[in-house]
Amino acid sequence: MRLTEEQEELRSAVRAALGRHAGEAAWRPLTEQIGVAGLAVPEEYGGAGYGAREVHVVMEELGRELSPVPYLGSAVLVVRALLASGDGEACARLLPDLASGAVVGALAWAERGSWDPSAVRAEATRGPGGTWRITGTKEHVLDGAGAGVLLVAARSEAGVSLFEVPADGAGVSREATVTMDSTRAQARVVLTEAEGRLVGAEGSGARVLAHVLDLACAALAAEQVGAASRCLELTLAYARERVQFGRAIGSFQAVKHRLADAYVLVESARSAALGASFAADDGTPELPRLAAAAKSACSEAFSAVAGEMIQLHGGIGITWEHDAHRYFKRAHGSAQLFGPPAWHRVRLAAALGLTAA
């Protein structure tokens, strides 16, 4: 599993842009100069027509910088949900602006902390003139407070379905939530008889969300690898510079062992994340298994390496002035996003025909 020269050039371009533009200011150059928002969008809808491997590259680089840009929520969740819905009219109308980055999308999905499609309880009832009325509460909506396109998963008589809801329409209340990880914007969306338009076939939402979950886990795993790799780089640099008892702490055997263990975790996680991304592009039926394995392995690897970063930096590692706490918070926040590692291990066990312990 090796990335192509073109994909490595994409990595260099994204890293350079993030180096020049900090925080949310990076979104415009990333979308206008590099076109990251449209990488996985077919050319017929204004995108570049690439796939999960290019998304993997971008997510790794965003993870390195803990970038707050709305790439995961808009360019992965919403774009993939629209494409998986098979709704050509909705794709033609919404994807061009999403691909250009001019509009940010949000997928309102999780309820009560669960991303399992079967857990959706928001209700969708038929209204006049072919419209729908959506009522329910959605949590952990990535970039939901400021999104211009809002897709909502709700349950109709035919099952879980996907709806386009006017983001600022009547009956829609969006509130940014305060999270442990301030670099990942999330919102709570409350819908009260909000008007919606069906996207795709009624009752197809569970299938769409299950596929989006696999792609989201593959993308998030790549982000976790990028962040864990950066944690290791910063810790290695500190171990070479920090002197105790007349020696750099990196020369102590105990520190070497811990750094070596962290390296193994990062590279093992990288292989798992690449495996999921390659499977997503290849369309293999192994994707659900590989995505679940990647989400579990990469979540735990990032948490472990971020913890070692805190420990090996000593006192400075727990100060606000150092970035270690930011990576530590992202590690634990991203471990819960799209379901905790234990839930994905249960999914993996079920897919393998095993009984979860």
- pTM (predicted TM-score): 0.95
Instruction: Identify the pLDDT of residue 37.
Output: 98
Question: Does residue 218 carry a pLDDT above 90?
Answer: yes
In the chain, which ranges are continuous DSSP H helix?
Answer: 5-20, 27-29, 52-65, 79-85, 88-100, 205-241, 253-282, 287-313, 324-336, 341-351
Buried-exposed string 328-348: b where 16+ CB fall within 10 A, e elsewhere: bbbbbbbbbbbbebebbbbbb
Tens of pLDDT along 285-319? 999 999 999 999 999 999 999 999 999 988 777 78
| Candidate CATH numbers 2.40.110.10, 2.40.50.140, 3.90.1150.10, 2.60.200.20; the one for domain 105-203 | 2.40.110.10
Here the contacts of 248-256 (C-beta below 8 Å, separation 24 or greater) are 249/312, 255/312
What pLDDT, in 10s, does the model give residues 172-191? 999 999 998 999 999 999 99
Residue with tokens 């999308």: 105
User: One-letter amino acid identity for 47?
Assistant: G
Determine how β-strand 186-199 pairs with β-strand 159-165.
Answer: antiparallel
Burial class (CB in 10 A: 0-12, 13-18, 19+), 119: middle
| HSE-CB for 23 with a 13 A CA cutoff | 3
User: Collapsing DSSP states into helix, strand and coil, what is residue 31?
Assistant: helix
> 207-351, which class in CATH?
mainly alpha
**Percent over 70 (pLDDT), the chain:** 99
Contact 310, 258 (CB under 8 A): no
What are the residues facing 123 on neighbouring strands?
135, 155
Q: Among 157-166, 203-212, 239-248, 256-265, which stretch is predicted with the lowest mean pLDDT?
A: 239-248
Q: What is the DSSP letter of 96?
A: H
Distance, in Å, from the CA atom of 335 to the CA atom of 105, rounded to the nearest integer, reads: 23
- Per domain, the residue ranges of the chain are 5-100, 105-203, 207-351
Rounded distance, CA 47 to CA 252, Å?
51
| Maximum pairwise Cα distance, the chain | 79
pLDDT, tens digit (0-9, with 9 covering 90-100), for 318-343: 787 888 999 999 999 999 999 999 99
CATH superfamily of 5-100: Acyl-CoA dehydrogenase/oxidase, N-terminal domain (1.10.540.10)
Strand spans (E) along 93-147: 105-108, 123-126, 132-142
- 264, 290, 265, 268: which is closest to 277 by C-alpha? 290
DSSP letter, residue 114: B
* Averaged pLDDT for residues 228-243: 92
Q: What is the mean pLDDT of residues 256-276?
A: 96
